[in-house]
Structure 1
């Protein structure tokens, strides 16, 4: 998705951040439809529980498979573990927009399944795309203030809970129904599903919090790396793949999870501890 900014798009700055004033009061809802408890459980909690269980299982199996125990070789095993821990991780970064369907597909189709396989070998960064008015420091987002706020919410989650298993799960929950970002009930539901303290999150995104500064720094990072498409994946400082307009392109080696995992493993093994 292109990051071209509509001429009439509003801007978000420190004094005009909409979420702080609304999050403690009532936020507008798209409709007043209510769901039964069973429907809500199937729609929200059951998929979340299954996702968390799968992530934990895969992460544990990945760790075990990379650290085999051989009786009588305790010292060797210890040395290998220390060497593995000291080995530099591979830089992997995803640049997107919280209310962008391509960002949703990017997370689900490539980032999350890749991280499930190589989480222990990757230093992952979640960055966002927008524009900064260098005269006022106001941040502009392609899909308006709601998207700027969504970006801030996801950046705050990553700041407070730096474990990718937590903040990526939360971000994926939000992008699953990105049209509802940043409605309070929706954000609270995703926070509860992924063990995120909503009050800590709210403190970060409030006028007095650091959320707007996190957004500025993130947008500036994307600009400095000449990233304009949501979603752009960079590996080891280079563009690895782009998801835009519902299609993958500029993906040397392919856009499959296996291809990306293979490349990450090769880069990781090539580095000396």
Structure 2
């Protein structure tokens, strides 16, 4: 790519950089915690790859209304994967319930039993059967946020890295995918920002990751963010600011107890 970076047009500046945006103060939670509060974001850097990233916005049809429906029975997965208990969360990156799900349940659970869990984060959206175009409930910005998180998980399979990064971004979900947020979270959690950009901007790679993730949620009939599945079954749902469909309870201790039972049964 040419070393000279053209200026963003007015609409692009609005999408990726809003000078009036402020950081949200959120206390860190161990290694998975959201970014530390800073009086100012990290100094802006000119990154040519973001011009390619910007073009991704216009590849997605936009849907702005969040529709939630009852889930039918979900297909089962094996109780363990390589000796670990499969735990999966289905989310939308710009959804407050996803933020609460990570903060209140998933992050503190992983702090306690990460070595026993195979965690997957899948995303909720729509795929046009006629064109394979992808759309997201909260618009193109959410699709881009999903791609950023999928790239992070692909490049950094260590759950402490990608989950910490995901928690950092989603803690400030209204600002996804602003460059300052993406960049400062990467710096805080030790992720190489250039590697993330390469994945996001690679022709087809990021969109293919998102399409496969959405298809996974669709195959399991999941439409609510955040849906938590344990060993292939719905374990809990966070929707509309409430927990429900949590047969074993919605606390961290409840989920940790269930994971330990499944893990010990597989030994």
What is residue 161 of structure 1 aligned with on the other side? 156
Give the Cα–Cα distance (whole angstroms) in 1 for the partners of residues 213 and 157 of structure 2. 15
Structure whose alpha-carbon radius of gyration is higher: 1
* 2:89 corresponds to 1:110: no
Alignment of 1:50-199 (within 5 A): 51-52=30-31, 88-199=83-194
Query: SS at 2:113's partner residue?
Result: helix
* 2:34 corresponds to 1:30: no
What is residue 208 of structure 2 aligned with on the other side? 213
Query: SS at 2:83's partner residue?
Result: coil
User: C-alpha offsets along residues 202-251 of structure 1, whole Å, 9 cap, x if unaligned?
Assistant: 11111515111110000000000010100000000000000000000000
Unpaired segments ≥5 residues, structure 2: 1-7, 34-80
The answer (yes or no) to whether the contact 1:203–1:209 under 8 Å persists in 2 is: no
Give the Cα–Cα distance (whole angstroms) in 1 for the partners of residues 194 and 144 of structure 2. 16
User: C-alpha offsets along residues 48-76 of structure 1, whole Å, 9 cap, x if unaligned?
Assistant: 5x73299xxxxxxxxxxxxxxxxxxxxxx
Q: Residues 262 and 136 of structure 1: is their aligned pair in 2 closer, same or farther, counting only changes over 3 Å?
A: same
Q: Residues 264 and 161 of structure 1: is their aligned pair in 2 closer, same or farther, counting only changes over 3 Å?
A: same
Q: Greater helix percent: which structure?
A: 1
How far off its partner does 1:169 sit?
Answer: 0.6
> Which ranges of 4 or more aligned residues in structure 1 deviate by more than 2 Å?
25-34, 50-54
Give the Cα–Cα distance (whole angstroms) in 1 for the partners of residues 157 and 233 of structure 2. 23
Query: SS at 1:168's partner residue?
Result: helix
Give the Cα–Cα distance (whole angstroms) in 2 for the partners of residues 217 and 207 of structure 1. 16
How far off its partner does 1:186 sit?
Answer: 1.2
The answer (yes or no) to whether the contact 1:151–1:215 under 8 Å persists in 2 is: yes
Aligned-residue Cα RMSD (Å) equals: 2.3
Give the Cα–Cα distance (whole angstroms) in 2 for the partners of residues 103 and 238 of structure 1. 18
Give the Cα–Cα distance (whole angstroms) in 2 for the partners of residues 225 and 110 of structure 1. 21
Moved more, 202-211 or 173-182: 202-211
The answer (yes or no) to whether the contact 2:175–2:181 under 8 Å persists in 1 is: yes
Select which of 248, 259, 264 maps to 1:269. 264
The answer (yes or no) to whether the contact 1:141–1:148 under 8 Å persists in 2 is: yes
- What TM-score does the superposition give when structure 2 sets the normalisation length? 0.73
Give the Cα–Cα distance (whole angstroms) in 2 for the partners of residues 258 and 33 of structure 1. 36
Unpaired segments ≥5 residues, structure 1: 1-20, 35-39, 55-85
* 2:249 corresponds to 1:248: no
Q: Residues 29 and 123 of structure 1: is their aligned pair in 2 closer, same or farther, counting only changes over 3 Å?
A: same
User: C-alpha offsets along residues 106-141 of structure 1, whole Å, 9 cap, x if unaligned?
Assistant: 000000000111100011100000011121111110
Give the Cα–Cα distance (whole angstroms) in 2 for the partners of residues 251 and 110 of structure 1. 12
Q: Residues 53 and 231 of structure 1: is their aligned pair in 2 closer, same or farther, counting only changes over 3 Å?
A: closer
The answer (yes or no) to whether the contact 2:32–2:165 under 8 Å persists in 1 is: no
